[in-house]
Structure 1
Amino acid sequence: MVDNREKLVELAYAKMPFGKYKGYYLVDIPEAYYLWFRQKGFPENKLGLQMQSMLEIKTNELEPLIRNVRKLYPKKV
């Protein structure tokens, strides 16, 4: 259970490291961008898995869940 929570917190704070949305939290990137990536192919790494997860979250309109995770678990500096 702790592992799932840690992954959710990590996803909530994940940022796009490249491209048009470089520096944006994944949750703040439009769904259309993820749909385009699904068509072209997600990266085959941790970021790709996070992007696929974010597409599922956005498809099911669960973005508030991710935003609440950031409120409940503030990033430690």
Structure 2
Amino acid sequence: MRASDRTRPAVIVETAPTPNGDLHIGHLAGPFPAADIHARFLRARDRPVVLSTGTDDSRTYAPAAQRRHTCAR
């Protein structure tokens, strides 16, 4: 790694949370802890880190799953 790379912030963007059913182990063992662990590792090595996440309001599977669930009753 070049010396200039050590001073540039590492940007880590977690995947957007998704409403895909009931709470399951994937919520705990998925990408969120991995991104946090990686950020902590870099910070421990004195690298500046920007850790971010967001939402995606244009996903279509949530409304489609809701229609399937509603129509199945």
Q: TM-score, normalised by structure 2?
A: 0.31
Question: Which is richer in strand?
Answer: 2
Of Structure 1 and Structure 2, the greater helix share is in 1
TM-score scaled by structure 1? 0.30
Structure with larger Rg: 2
